[in-house]
Structure 1
């Protein structure tokens, strides 16, 4: 084994499980500047979608062969009816791997012209904006749920793995909630926003 080649390979960090059972999604955290104040755009999911009526960020499934950032921008353009030229990519936030077999890649973008924003009525019920200052000044409420591991019926018991007697671990999962006016921002969306806010809290008063 050539150690120099191994070092190069190990520097290209991936995510365990990616490409196997994980479903890959890309979302954007859209920033809009209005009268000197930075805001985040959110959308309420359309009535014909799963989790209808819940608050979400623009985004969706990454198609085969598609780059993650391209998927995030494509989905955002489709849902907000804007042209890619109206988007400035700022950077990528932390990757989120869920206990539900999903991996989510959040990208921070700036929408250059707020007046050109619309929304697809097939996917979005409405859009609204929340000042970043709100998230900086208001910690989310945190509720804890129990996560239990149970082997399925096709578990390979014939391999003499003592699964039936094994003490499978239980875990706890924090679920975040923000209440802004009449909107509840929670679940994975709130977790992505909470993580983003932790990154920018010390950047100064411009937010």
Structure 2
């Protein structure tokens, strides 16, 4: 078993821990996640099509990708160091769809999705003109295509909702006696809601469906 950070602190360093040092350290401290954690950000693009209908723009991930091949999603990705969620969403949209940042009118920040697998997903809303949507040239190693779904069409679909349990799996060598518990200890568990929309043969599910569902709920309010 590897020693944790506290076990690696030497006695000499401990003697440096004065209240003045602690106060000065945390006066300028920038909070960060404890442990391994990831941040993602996506753009939720609205496009008014040639019929005057307000649509959502989705993309289909390339079918030969290692992660989530062929799934429908919003443009976005992993936040780079020093990048804000909005900067990430706009950068990824331009890289994946070829639609320049200058052609995106930002509406504001959407809701935040906190995942069970140590990640946070930010959303931002934006408007893309139909003529700019038509000029999209996707990055083929990541995206197969972009397409539109009218809000009125997806709002008229009742999604299938599945609720799955998230359980904890503990390694066999965990020192139960040392920490004063047994193998029947009630570890924290959770639930994960998975909506599935089927719109004109397009199946939208998972995180993208959850974002869509919350968006429709907010607009309906």
Give TM-score, length-normalised by structure 1: 0.82
User: Residue 67 and residue 146 in structure 1: after superposition, are their counterparts in 2 closer, same or farther (change >3 A)?
Assistant: same
Partners of 1:150 and 1:171 lie apart in 2 by 13
Larger radius of gyration: 2
Q: How many residues align?
A: 188
Q: Which stretches in structure 1 are left out of the alignment for 5+ residues? A: 1-13, 203-207
Shift of 1:26: 0.5
- Correspondence for 1:26: 41
Give TM-score, length-normalised by structure 2: 0.77
Partner SS for 1:128 = strand
Alignment of structure 1 residues 1-207 onto 2, 5 Å: 18=33, 20-34=35-49, 35-49=51-65, 50-112=67-129, 113-152=132-171, 155=174, 157=176, 159-162=178-181, 164-202=183-221
Task: Report if aligned partners of 1:136, 1:201 keep a CA contact under 8 Å in 2.
Answer: no
Question: Deviations for 1:157-189, whole angstroms, at most 9, x for unmatched residues?
Answer: 475241523123544322100001221100011
Shift of 1:110: 0.6
Partners of 2:79 and 2:147 lie apart in 1 by 25
Q: Which stretches in structure 2 are left out of the alignment for 5+ residues? A: 1-30
Partner SS for 1:138 = coil
Partner SS for 1:77 = helix
Shift of 1:127: 1.5
* RMSD across aligned positions (CA): 2.2
Partners of 2:78 and 2:174 lie apart in 1 by 29
Partners of 1:118 and 1:148 lie apart in 2 by 42
Structure with the greater relative contact order (CA < 8 A, sep ≥ 6): 1 or 2? 1
